[in-house]
Amino acid sequence: MQIIRNINNLSNIQACVATIGNFDGMHLGHQSILHHVIAQSKVVSLPSTVIFFEPQPQEFFMQHQAPARLTNLREKLNIIKKLGIERVLILRFSSRCITMAAEEFVERILVNALKVKFLFVGDDFRFGKWRRGDFNLLRLHGDKYGFVVENTTTVYFAGERISSTRIRHALQRNDFTMVKNLLGRSYQLCGKVRHGAKRGRLLGFPTANLYLKRKISPINGVYAVRVFGPHDKIWTGVANVGSRPTIMGDNRVTLETYIFDFNSDIYHNYISVEPVQKIREERRFANLEELQQQIARDVAYVRGLQI
């Protein structure tokens, strides 16, 4: 899959079949759009292309008040690649985007840069200054510039529209079964294992540490988890997602996972952690001894679950 991060790298590029949106979570609704793009790209023998912004517009405007991101950039790209998309254009969202009129975006990005021939959009897609751009504007400009615009059908589950917001609410309720139904897969947090302060090792529970690269985590607390590591191996364990309030001096949101019956060096390897059941909220302990005792209780409880 080709990843393009600058429209200046689009000179002499082949025309395409495209879609544009946030695609946070890559849920079944998003996947339906991408399946339409891929199917049409095969019909007309043009590359399938996904366009999205980084950071996501709400993150730019709202910063730490923005909705929790379900998928970071790497996670999103991995899912898009697995679905079979050939090309991704990542547009940097900046103050310039805020002032760009929807008509200019169509002409500059979709027509001149990408040479879009077919464009698929979701039913709630908005773009451009004052969010004036919508399906009707795209269709008018498609007639003008010679590309076809199609509005994809909304995907429902249990009578309700599938959306990233609905998934966030299900995660807050710890309803991982519902989340799996909406995503079409289990929810996982992914990243490269980093060196930490080794406090877990000193406590007798060494952890694999991931920095989540999100302003806000969609889940927080202590969880029973499955860990998908190198060589397609699967382990179980206990994970803490949060800012580690007992340990002062580092407020980064971190995923720390104690993997059961595991003693291998996986630093700098990518792993995926699937929360299966929430055990408790994250909280601050009076000292490290109390924290150690609680971790021991968490581990004993999760081992008894036989997940």
pLDDT digit string, tens, across residues 266-284: 889 999 999 999 999 988 8
What distance in Å separates the CA atoms of residue 72 and residue 59, rounded to the nearest whole number?
12
Of 209, 218, 213, 216, the closest CA to residue 271 belongs to: 209
What distance in Å separates the CA atoms of residue 190 and residue 274, rounded to the nearest whole number?
9
Q: What domains, with CATH codes, occur in the chain?
A: 2-159 (3.40.50.620), 188-305 (2.40.30.30)
What distance in Å separates the CA atoms of residue 176 and residue 227, rounded to the nearest whole number?
16
Calculate mean pLDDT across residues 88-106. 90
Inform me whether the pLDDT recorded for 249 exceeds 70. Answer: no
H-helix or E-strand containing 284?
A: none
CB-count burial class (<10 Å; 0-12, 13-18, 19+) for 211: middle
Inform me whether the pLDDT recorded for 198 exceeds 70. Answer: no
Listing DSSP states for 115-148 in one string gives: -EEEEEE-TT--BSGGG-B-HHHHHHHHHHHT-E
SS3 261: coil
What distance in Å separates the CA atoms of residue 90 and residue 8, rounded to the nearest whole number?
12
H-helix or E-strand containing 276?
A: strand 270-280
Q: How far is CA 14 from CA 111, 147, 236, 239, in A?
A: 12, 14, 46, 46
What distance in Å separates the CA atoms of residue 37 and residue 47, rounded to the nearest whole number?
9
pLDDT top residue among 165 and 57: 165
What distance in Å separates the CA atoms of residue 280 and residue 298, rounded to the nearest whole number?
9
What distance in Å separates the CA atoms of residue 235 and residue 28, rounded to the nearest whole number?
27
Calculate mean pLDDT across residues 20-40. 96
pLDDT top residue among 244 and 263: 263
Of 218, 206, 120, the closest CA to residue 169 belongs to: 218
Calculate mean pLDDT across residues 203-226. 89
Confidence of residue 247 (pLDDT cuts 50, 70, 90): low
Percent of the chain with pLDDT over 70: 95
As given in the structure block, the two tokens for residue 196 are 């930490």
Taking the model in full, what pTM does it have? Answer: 0.92
pLDDT at 294: 93
Inform me whether the pLDDT recorded for 204 exceeds 80. Answer: no
Residue 254, CA atoms < 13 Å, CB-side half-sphere: 19
Query: Kind of pairing, strands 2-4 and 87-92?
Result: parallel
Per-residue pLDDT tens digits for 154-166: 999 999 999 999 9
Residue 199, CA atoms < 13 Å, CB-side half-sphere: 13
Inform me whether the pLDDT recorded for 243 exceeds 80. Answer: no
What distance in Å separates the CA atoms of residue 215 and residue 218, rounded to the nearest whole number?
10
**Sign, Cα dihedral of 35, 40, 45, 49:** negative
pLDDT at 96: 84
Inform me whether the pLDDT recorded for 150 exceeds 60. Answer: yes
H-helix or E-strand containing 100?
A: none
Confidence of residue 54 (pLDDT cuts 50, 70, 90): very high
| 3-state DSSP helix/strand/coil % of the chain, to nearest 5 | 35, 25, 35
Chain mean pLDDT for the chain:
90
